[in-house]
Structure 1
Amino acid sequence: MQLLLFSCGGAYHDQQLLHEAGMLSDSLPADALTKLQAVNNSGNFKRPDYAKYGLLLTRTMLMTGNRIPSDSLVSLAIAHYREANDSIALFDALYTKAMFFFSTSAYDSAVY
């Protein structure tokens, strides 16, 4: 019984961190990144939350000058927002992916 309560508490804590990071991402990206890095198990997020997590993590890493090894997280967010017909979030994700390509000097990919 305690294990079940602990895992639910952990999932709630991760949800709370994601929400707080979303609130901070534009004004305090370093603080948002710290919260996102404190998420224990992003794999437990439902698809919409995982898309938000991937988008926020990519964007805050870019905004704080961190190098990102690939565009895989933001690409998952793009696929989700495209399927969900969420044009505002899709625009945000596409813009973030362009920022990623720009940061890696892949200028041709950034404008595609």
Structure 2
Amino acid sequence: NYTTSVNIINKDMQKAIQYINNNYYKNIQITDVAQHANLTRSYLYKLFKKNLDVSPKSYLTYIRMYHASELLKQTNLSIKQIAENIGYQDPLLFSKNFKQHFEMTATNYRTYHC
């Protein structure tokens, strides 16, 4: 019966990860992810920590930062437009998270990689 519970965990994780990957550009919250996967927020947190060693929020930020870095390299969109395109309502919060993630500003990142 052990394999059944492992499959359920994997299915729940897949559902949550797929939801984040498909909706990161919307203004989604972790409660939306948990709701979509039909899990409590705390159980979702435990699953992410156990399987990926990160919180669901960190994973969402990671996905958003990846897409932001691609947009910075491949488009001429403004920082504000990029922030909006990856689900941030607040460009200042985006800039803060970007700098924390890449240890440089979005503008410097674009200059460095282009």
TM range (shorter): 0.3 to 0.5
- TM-score after normalising by structure 1: 0.41
From the CA coordinates, give the structure whose radius of gyration is larger.
2
- TM-score after normalising by structure 2: 0.41
Ranked by relative contact order (alpha carbons within 8 Å, sequence separation 6 or more), the top structure is 2
